[in-house]
Amino acid sequence: MSETWWRGAAIYQVYLRSFADGNGDGIGDLAGLRSRLPYLSDLGVDAIWLNPWYPSPMADGGYDVADYRDIEPSFGTLAEAEKFIQEAHALGIRTIIDIVPNHGSDQQKWFLDALAAGPGSAERERFWFAEGNGDLPPNDWKSIFGGPAWTRVPDGQWYLHLFAPEQPDFNWNNPEVVEEFHDVLRFWFDRGVDGIRIDSAALLIKDFDSEEESYTDHDGVHTIYQGWRQISDEYGERILIGEVWLPDQERFALYLRPNEMHTAFNFDFMARRWEAAELRASIDLTLATHVPIGAPPTWVLSNHDVPRPVTKYGRAVTSFDHAERNDGMPSDLVLGERRARAAALMAMALPGSLYVYQGEELGLPEVDDIPDELRQDPMWTRSKHTVPGRDGCRVPLPWSGQEPPFGYSTGEPWLPQPASWKGLTAEAQTADESSMLSLYKAGLRIRRAELGDGSLRWLDSPEGVLAFARESGLACVANFNPDAVELPPHEGVLLASGPLEGNLLPSDTAVWLRTG
Ligand code: NOJ
Ligand code: CA
């Protein structure tokens, strides 16, 4: 593999807690993941990104890290993590882990030390502790999960948490914090990790002098990532991937300068409506942002924070936005699956790297009817039960068999799986050439041979149709119209997201054609 393996990689996102359970306690773990490595190798992915695997009280699904240098006991041990990295390497699969620099857990030693040391101590300087205004918090910033962004401690001071109260924000103006994370990066690179996904990457620097809430995208973050890049460069072939949600593409591009991150998630495509002109605008914008700085675009259809594509694309509103989540909006899942299949062929054909969130390759729908008392996402409680939150896309995977737990575990899964998933197990889909899984496998195989990094050329196409060609002569054509359209001239059909009607491409269908 080459130095620039990441530019065109297909990266599979493992939400470990829900992937596969190796010991029957209902919680996914490293033993389960290791036993399923052949599945991922067969699927044809180049790397695995794991959501946080550190010891954690799980107030936010592991994004509340209690120890950055160890493994959550319910997931396994550090020795097992090292074995996993080696076994994956032996199959040609790289490992990317999640680092959470904006905040830790309130059970992390640093925070416990800060509580014990009291106001004015060096220990408190690692976080944002402050006096309030009488009985009110220091300012009126709101938590991203709802409610105030400050929580009071018994001695009267308040601390900042942009997310849940169990996730105190670090003070990145403190050189000790900078040093600590440099050391954490080295710790994992030394253990063979190939890349780091940086959580909430744009939020690290706060401006408390501002009149309003001011913590997104301050220039100071770039100094931090330039420091990280020096470390990853020392190791070679190790990459930094930013979770950077920013509406302004010029600001976004700054994170991808040659001395900063290698790539960042492009959420624009995922957020757009299912509509030809919208998606074309998104592709053009993405390319225009990335090409001038020489960074490869990334394509993301889903992750553990957003509704499953099959459900999203079957709704009356097919876009996604954090403020208006459309949770629970009814969905036509047959239509949604058709579109999700077409979207997958488009995303796989576009130039750059690709992310596939576990279960996307099985076409799992969002689980909208999790019983309220089982919901775990802090969004649900912090929003005072107005936002159901993200549990619906985090339900354990169905592997095999006719009923829950579908080979996921021998015990009871931590979130219940719908009985209706029996046709969606990996086993059932492996045996079915027309399944979503078979489509992903075929697509990833062709993608590995001739797509990935590079550029595209738009082809003339009727309204409501997107058509582009890649360097190899592969053309991807997607029809968003209600009626079928004629295929452009071609030398053969390589793959289609649904049945073709002779030389016609039906509605909400995409096809890969061999052209001259
Ligand atoms: C983004 C992560 O993807 C999400 O799951 C988490 O809740 C927040 N960052 C806070 O860490
Ligand atoms: Ca387990």
Q: What is the pLDDT along the chain (516 residues), one digit of tens a residue?
A: 467 999 999 999 999 999 999 999 999 999 999 999 999 999 999 999 999 999 999 999 999 999 999 999 999 999 999 999 999 999 999 999 999 999 999 999 999 999 999 999 999 999 999 999 999 999 999 999 999 999 999 999 999 999 999 999 999 999 999 999 999 999 999 999 999 999 999 999 999 999 899 999 999 999 999 999 999 999 999 999 999 999 999 999 999 999 999 999 999 999 999 999 999 999 999 999 999 999 999 999 999 999 999 999 999 999 999 999 999 999 999 999 999 999 999 999 999 999 999 999 999 999 999 999 999 999 999 999 999 999 999 999 999 999 999 999 999 999 999 999 999 999 999 999 999 999 999 999 999 999 999 999 999 999 999 999 999 999 999 999 999 999 999 999 999 999 999 999 999 999 999 997
Task: Note whether 282 and 310 are same-domain residues.
Answer: yes
63 lines ligand 1 (CB under 6 A): yes
Rounded distance between C-alpha atoms, residue 68 and residue 76, angstroms:
15
Which pLDDT does position 516 carry in this prediction? 77
Cα torsion 32, 411, 389, 360: sign: positive
Tell me which of 14, 54, 63 to substitute to probe ligand 1's pocket, judged by most ligand atoms within 8 Å of the beta carbon.
63
Q: Is 278 a member of any domain? A: yes
Rounded distance between C-alpha atoms, residue 35 and residue 92, angstroms:
16
- Nearest residue (by CA) to ligand 1, atom 4, is 305
Task: Note whether 120 and 189 are same-domain residues.
Answer: no
Q: Residue 164: nearest ligand to its CA? A: 1
Rounded distance between C-alpha atoms, residue 26 and residue 8, angstroms:
35
Does residue 35 sit in helix, strand or coil?
Answer: helix
Rounded distance between C-alpha atoms, residue 512 and residue 474, angstroms:
6
166 lines ligand 1 (CB under 6 A): no
Q: Is 320 a member of any domain? A: yes
* CA–centroid distance, residue 15 to ligand 1 (Å): 12
Q: Is 242 a member of any domain? A: yes
CATH code of the domain in which 156 resides: 3.90.400.10
Within a 13 Å sphere around the CA of 506, how many CA atoms are in the beta-carbon half?
13
- Phi then psi dihedrals of residue 41, to 5 deg: -65, -40
305 lines ligand 1 (CB under 6 A): yes
- Cβ burial, residue 24 (10 Å; 0-12/13-18/19+): exposed
100 lines ligand 1 (CB under 6 A): yes
Cis peptide before 52 (omega within 30 of 0): no
Which pLDDT does position 6 carry in this prediction? 97
Q: Token pair for residue 467?
A: 């058509």
CATH code of the domain in which 487 resides: 2.60.40.1180
Cα torsion 50, 52, 55, 60: sign: negative
Task: Note whether 242 and 220 are same-domain residues.
Answer: yes
Task: Note whether 486 and 374 are same-domain residues.
Answer: no
Task: Note whether 399 and 508 are same-domain residues.
Answer: no
CATH code of the domain in which 373 resides: 3.20.20.80
Rounded distance between C-alpha atoms, residue 246 and residue 455, angstroms:
24
Q: Is 266 a member of any domain? A: yes
End-to-end alpha carbon distance in the chain: 29
Task: Note whether 483 and 367 are same-domain residues.
Answer: no
What 8-state DSSP symbol labels residue 305?
Answer: T
Rounded distance between C-alpha atoms, residue 352 and residue 454, angstroms:
7
Which pLDDT does position 211 carry in this prediction? 87
* CA–centroid distance, residue 32 to ligand 1 (Å): 23
Q: Is 169 a member of any domain? A: no
Helices 333-349 and 436-450: crossing angle, nearest 10°? 10
Q: Residue 22: nearest ligand to its CA? A: 2
Q: Is 365 a member of any domain? A: yes
| Residue whose C-alpha is closest to residue 476's, from 271, 276, 267 | 276
- Nearest residue (by CA) to ligand 1, atom 5, is 305
Q: Is 168 a member of any domain? A: no
Q: Token pair for residue 162?
A: 């942009």
* CA–centroid distance, residue 405 to ligand 2 (Å): 13
Rounded distance between C-alpha atoms, residue 123 and residue 481, angstroms:
60
Q: Residue 17: nearest ligand to its CA? A: 2
Q: Token pair for residue 424?
A: 């969606």
* CA–centroid distance, residue 312 to ligand 2 (Å): 30
Rounded distance between C-alpha atoms, residue 268 and residue 281, angstroms:
10
- Nearest residue (by CA) to ligand 1, atom 10, is 63
Q: Token pair for residue 188?
A: 């994992």
Q: Is 446 a member of any domain? A: no
Beta-bridge partners for 493: 513
* CA–centroid distance, residue 381 to ligand 1 (Å): 16
The radius of gyration of the chain from alpha carbons, rounded to an integer in Å, stands at 23
Cβ–Cβ under 8 Å, residues 16 and 30: yes
- DSSP code string of 64-103: S-S-TTS--TTT--HHHHHHHHHHHHHTT-EEEEEE--SB
Torsion of CA 433, 439, 440, 441, to 10 degrees: 40
Task: Note whether 256 and 373 are same-domain residues.
Answer: yes
Using the atom order of ligand 1, give the atom closest to the CA of residue 378: 7
Final residue before a domain boundary, out of 408, 439, 470: 439
Task: Note whether 301 and 389 are same-domain residues.
Answer: yes
Task: Note whether 307 and 193 are same-domain residues.
Answer: yes
* CA–centroid distance, residue 506 to ligand 1 (Å): 38
What 8-state DSSP symbol labels residue 506?
Answer: -
Task: Note whether 121 and 256 are same-domain residues.
Answer: no
Task: Note whether 281 and 329 are same-domain residues.
Answer: yes
64 lines ligand 1 (CB under 6 A): no
Using the atom order of ligand 1, give the atom closest to the CA of residue 103: 11
276 lines ligand 1 (CB under 6 A): no
Q: Is the pTM of this model over 0.85?
A: yes
199 lines ligand 1 (CB under 6 A): yes
Domain residues for 119? 109-160
Q: Token pair for residue 385?
A: 């039960």
Which pLDDT does position 1 carry in this prediction? 45
**Considering its fold, how many domains does the chain have in total?**
3
Task: Note whether 407 and 468 are same-domain residues.
Answer: no
- DSSP code string of 398-438: P-SSSSTTTTS-SS--SSPPPGGGGGGSHHHHHT-TTSHHH
- Phi then psi dihedrals of residue 319, to 5 deg: -90, 170
Using the atom order of ligand 1, give the atom closest to the CA of residue 100: 11
200 lines ligand 1 (CB under 6 A): yes
Q: Token pair for residue 360?
A: 């996307």
CB atoms within 10 A of CB 455: 11
What does the H/E/C string look like for 309-323? Answer: HHHHCCECCCCCCCC
- Residue positions annotated with a catalytic role: 199, 243
| Residue whose C-alpha is closest to residue 322's, from 253, 270, 367 | 270
Does residue 151 sit in helix, strand or coil?
Answer: strand
* CA–centroid distance, residue 440 to ligand 1 (Å): 27
Rounded distance between C-alpha atoms, residue 274 and residue 414, angstroms:
33
Residues with Cβ within 8 Å of residue 76, at least 6 apart in sequence: 29, 30, 31
